[in-house]
Chain A
Amino acid sequence: MKKIGVFVCHCGRNISSTVNINEVVEEIKKYPGVAFCTDYTYMCSDPGQDLVKKSIKEKKLDGIVIAACSPSLHELTFRNTAEKAGLNPYLTEVANIREQCSWVHKDIKEATPKAISIIESIIEKTKLNESLSPVKVKVNPKALVIGGGIAGIQASLDIANSGHKVILVEKSPSIGGHMAQLSETFPTLDCSQCILTPKMVEISQHENISLFVYSELEEISGSVGNFKIKIRKKASYVDNSKCTGCGVCSEKCPVSVDSEFDEGLGKRKAIYSPFPQAVPNKPVIDKENCTYFLKDGKCGVCKIVCTLNAIDFDQKDEIIEEEVGAIVVATGYELYPMENMIEYGAGKYPDVINGLQFERLLSASGPTQGEIHRPSDNKIPKRIAFISCVGSRDPEHHLPYCSKICCMYMVKHALLYKEHIPDGEAIVFSIDIRTSGKDYEEFFTRAKEEGNILYIRGKPARIIKQGDDLVVWCINTLTGKQLRVKCDMIVLSMSMISSSGALELAKALRIHTNDFGFFTEAHPKLRPVESLVPGFYLAGTAQGPKDIPDTVSQASGAAAKVMTLFSSDEISHSPIIASVDEDLCSGCGICIAACPYDAREMDERKKIVAVNEILCEGCGACISACPSGASQQRNLTNIQIDNMISVLLRSNTEQPV
């Protein structure tokens, strides 16, 4: 039998005012298995801990129970104390007689026996505790970053600058993401590309970064510290070792299609680089639109004009295998489809456009060289309307959430419009303008006043085309007046949604998203940059709508977490996890489905379901699901739980065990 020591804390008067400490100590001393019991005012203080250490050594204790506050506060403290005295830390337990006893009772006569039974139940647990040591794994200090928008760029640079290798995978032909499409950025109105492109170039030149564009993650296995990945690099039909990015091929290519980068407002060729500052600046052939592929080898103009013979129609997709220790997910966002807004004729009327399209019209590198012309007939729009919350804050038909940044980009758009067309009129329709960011409200105020912009409170119901005009139907809910406003062009502040493919990616990575495909953080407040599954970190709009400052902060946060992980060769993990009694396991596999962390895996050879000790978080779901009692939580086995419960149930009748 173990020699157990019990240390009862007064917590000043927090415990002792409603629990009779003397009575507790006297009772516990009598409890079977207890070799020593004492009390102290503050057990967590240095003298308190010294008392614990001294007692462990002197009384040769092989298990201790600290009766004090919640284990979520000081369990670690006392485990370390015990370790210093030579006792395995997992033979230390905390009995919570504060939050669960003294704080919730007034009557000392009720609280004292309750404290006694709580302590007794923890003594029972401690009796059967085993010595454990943390699970250790080697860490491969190389990171994978998925998505090359500003989030992925920032995370990659931060990790690479700390001396670790980074693999950056981007699905489109260039990194840069949506930020590359923007004109000027709120609240300071600096030119988006001017602040972004230096970072893009830094990526391409960084010795610690391997960049794979036109690529996607194909397969992943393993767990934190040791993932094995396969990347599919799509054939671009251009040999990058020969191509200098001169662009002759694109110039001569006869096929012209809508440019994704210009949001359909401009054209690109079948062989293209999305924008002049693209990184890498090598074209790709879009097979779906290339005449060579569509018509069995007809065309091939690019191959003819390319003097460096860089065009290679026989190129195949490549699979690259890599090993990494951590993964940053930075797959960004898209805008809610305009076609869903039938009441606004969006997708039907060419002059009803979305925010990103307007950014392209404003951008000097855009399809109109930065002059605002409306798409249908190139006319300069003399009256323009901006409508907020389109798709967002509409739980009934669209999305329930506030997309957070569209108010701000709308405020910016109205101001930039007025700067471009000073004699034009800008009207903003909104329910409210949300400007909760540093300097944002000031920006809004300035934009409203400088631009003489008309803000109308109300959500328009319809946009109706009348001849050349688009008429917005609305009610000004502040005055109650009906409005039918004729406009030349309308910009819808569409909500952000998760990027297409986010759900499939989440499934492949086995990490969680919310209902809308945004990756879920481990804790909404205290762990906002990591996933619940160890080894995965989240950056930018992949996790939820946000602006560039927040995106960059989160990316740096995720990078810091990765660096923390990489700061030692090994990581350790709590050993309070599930274990399997191989003799009892029938291999039914029920636990596999029950585990939210994918930590249970079938051992095909032994026909039992093993526990991946790295992935297991010790939640206990598999244990309660296991029909044969084979799965047990270490140091919280079914027998321990039974014993604890019987102590608690018996306590009223005051019989010994």
Chain B
Amino acid sequence: MKDKKNLTTEINPEIRDILIEMGAEDIYKCYQCGKCTSVCPWFQVEICDYPVYKFSLETALGAVASSEDKKELEEEIDLIYRCVGCEACLEQCPHGISTPNILRAARRLLVDFGSYPETLKSIVQKTHNVGNPFGEQRENRADWAKGLNVPDFQQGMEYLYFPCCLPAYETRNQKVAQATVGILQKCEVSFGILGVKETCCGEVIRRIGAENIFEEVTKANIKEFKDSDVKKVLVTSPHCFTTFKNEYPEFGADFEVLHITQFLSKLIDEGKIKPKKEFNKKVVYHDPCTLGRKNNIYEEPRNILKNIPGLEFLEVENFNRSLSLCCGAGSGGLWLEWEKDERIVNVRLKQLMDTGADIIAVACPYCLQMFEETLKSMSTDIRVMDVAEILYETI
């Protein structure tokens, strides 16, 4: 029990107004039904109690990110950074309240005060300094494409392929980028890459709350795209997809963006790709939140997989499409450490493995990374592959 003084909440209009200004404008719509809370992935993590429904009301009281007590503030920061931005709550909220946006407003405030998790501070810094959250060297950014004859983007090319940071630097994810260009080359698509000139799309740092640095990165990217005369962009990561498509336009971007699954699904429908080799595996598809819920791309990845001969397609019962469960990697989640029995990824992997699948198909580098990392510590034969990798194997 806290002592009385801590239980009494003073309404703090200044904090509230700042948070509204920073994007928490939905707070007054909340009628405290709690639906968000029981649909949130944390609800499925046995030992976790994540009171999503409280955030609007607490924000309206100005009682978020505002504790004077150090320990209390730490607890608050923990809550504010627990959200993985999967938008399961938004999807179900009767009033369309974006709790992740409300929390992002709180994060912006915390970032302004420098009071946010050290690991996240470091990725913001690294993105700022070297254009990627891992602190890898810029000049190594195109190493994944060595020996693959991937041209640099030039005026007149139809598409820019933009793999983003994980596929550019991380060994497992590099294979996805490699498979993708393999398919594009086979289909004689006119495309190139920015190579060492490529910079992180900035999605994750915006979700962490580092709005100013996000704006810097965004403006630089838009300039780079304009200077290079980029009109259409193909992306592997749903995180680049949503940022380019839904967020860059407010900063003056006017290029078209396609997620690779949209592009490949269309090529299959048009008969330009014909998967020939049998892929005799049971494959369950995991809907990445950012591709599905946020951008309504549910059918294209399924269409690709269902066109592969021999492949037995499985769904996670109750938790597919808009009701899918997050892998836990969004909004900075990939970098935050939780105890083993306090991880969303374990819940999701169990759901996926319970289908009896041999392969978990994903369409997002974050999901791939999250699942791969976690499976390492599990005794199981199930493997994770990107949809593009599976397709590449069959053509």
Contacts and interface: CB of A to CB of B under 8 A. Distances in A.
Interface of A: 342-343, 345, 393-398, 431, 457-462, 464-465, 473-477, 480, 482-483
A403 to B, nearest CB: 13
Nearest to B57: A477
A431 B39 contact: no
Contact of A482 (B32, B36, B43): B43
B38 A461 contact: yes
Interface string B5-32: 0000000000000000000000000011
* Dominant secondary structure at the B interface: loop
B33 A458 contact: yes
Given A342-B323, A393-B94, A395-B94, A464 B318 contact: yes
B92 interface: yes
B219 interface: no
B49 A395 contact: no
7 contacts: A345-B318, A394-B94, A395-B94, A398-B94, A458-B33, A460-B38, A461-B43
Q: Which 5 A-B pairs have the closest CB atoms?
A: A459-B33, A461-B39, A394-B94, A461-B38, A396-B96
B374 to A, nearest CB: 23
Contact of B34 (A394, A398, A465, A475): A475
Nearest to B36: A461
B53 A475 contact: yes
Given A396-B93, A480-B51, A343 B323 contact: yes
B95 interface: yes
A397 B94 contact: yes
A475 B37 contact: yes
Contacts of B95: 394-396
B35 interface: yes
Interface string B67-97: 0000000000000000000000000111110
A342 B43 CA distance: 19
A480 B54 CA distance: 9
B38 A462 contact: yes
B94 A474 contact: no
B53 A477 contact: yes
A345 B318 CA distance: 8
B44 to A, nearest CB: 9
Interface of B: 31-39, 43, 49, 51, 53-54, 92-96, 318, 322-323
Contacts of B34: 457-459, 474-477
A272 B254 CA distance: 63
A220 B32 CA distance: 48
Given A431-B31, A482-B49, A474 B93 contact: no
A431 B33 contact: yes
Contacts of B51: 475, 480
A470 to B, nearest CB: 12
A11 B38 CA distance: 64
Contact of A343 (B36, B53, B92): B92
Contact of A459 (B35, B54, B96): B35
B9 to A, nearest CB: 15
B296 to A, nearest CB: 14
Nearest to B48: A482
Nearest to B46: A482
Given A342-B323, A343-B323, A473-B43, A461 B94 contact: no
Nearest to A460: B38
A343 B91 CA distance: 11
A85 B94 CA distance: 63
Among B35, B51, B93, the most chain A Cβ lie within 10 Å of the Cβ of B35
A395 B93 CA distance: 10
Contacts of B31: 393, 431
B218 to A, nearest CB: 29
A62 to B, nearest CB: 60
B113 to A, nearest CB: 28
A467 to B, nearest CB: 13
Contacts of B323: 342-343, 462
A189 B271 CA distance: 65
A396 B35 CA distance: 13
Contacts of A397: 94
Contacts of A474: 34, 38
Contacts of B38: 458, 460-462, 473-475, 482-483
A342 B96 CA distance: 17
A461 B323 CA distance: 10
B101 to A, nearest CB: 15
Contacts of B49: 480, 482
A391 to B, nearest CB: 10
A229 to B, nearest CB: 42
Given A477-B33, A477-B34, A459 B94 contact: yes
Nearest to A397: B94
Among B31, B38, B95, the most chain A Cβ lie within 10 Å of the Cβ of B38
B86 to A, nearest CB: 13
A397 to B, nearest CB: 7
Given A343-B323, A462-B38, A477 B32 contact: yes
A460 B35 contact: yes
B43 A396 contact: no
B80 to A, nearest CB: 17
A461 B35 contact: yes
Contacts of A458: 33-35, 38
A480 B51 CA distance: 7
A343 to B, nearest CB: 6
Contacts of A431: 31-33
Contacts of A476: 34
Nearest to B96: A396
A344 to B, nearest CB: 11
A395 B29 CA distance: 11
A457 B35 CA distance: 11
A486 to B, nearest CB: 15
Given A396-B95, A473-B38, 13 more contacts: A395-B94, A396-B94, A396-B96, A431-B32, A458-B35, A461-B35, A461-B92, A462-B38, A464-B318, A473-B43, A482-B37, A482-B49, A483-B38
A472 to B, nearest CB: 9
Contacts of B93: 396
A477 B38 CA distance: 11
A431 B31 CA distance: 8
B319 to A, nearest CB: 9
Contacts of B322: 342
A351 B43 CA distance: 24
Nearest to B39: A461
Nearest to B88: A461
Contacts of A394: 94-95
Contacts of B318: 345, 462, 464-465
A461 B35 CA distance: 5
A174 B336 CA distance: 65
Contacts of B33: 431, 458-459, 477
A480 B49 CA distance: 9
A100 to B, nearest CB: 37
Contacts of B43: 461, 473, 475, 482
Contacts of B37: 461, 475, 477, 482
A345 B49 CA distance: 25
A473 to B, nearest CB: 4
Contacts of A462: 38-39, 318, 323
B38 to A, nearest CB: 4
Nearest to A465: B318
A349 to B, nearest CB: 11
Nearest to B37: A475
A482 B93 CA distance: 17
A98 B53 CA distance: 52
A345 B43 CA distance: 19
A490 to B, nearest CB: 15
Nearest to A342: B323
A343 B34 CA distance: 14
Nearest to B44: A473
Among B33, B49, B96, the most chain A Cβ lie within 10 Å of the Cβ of B33
A264 B36 CA distance: 32
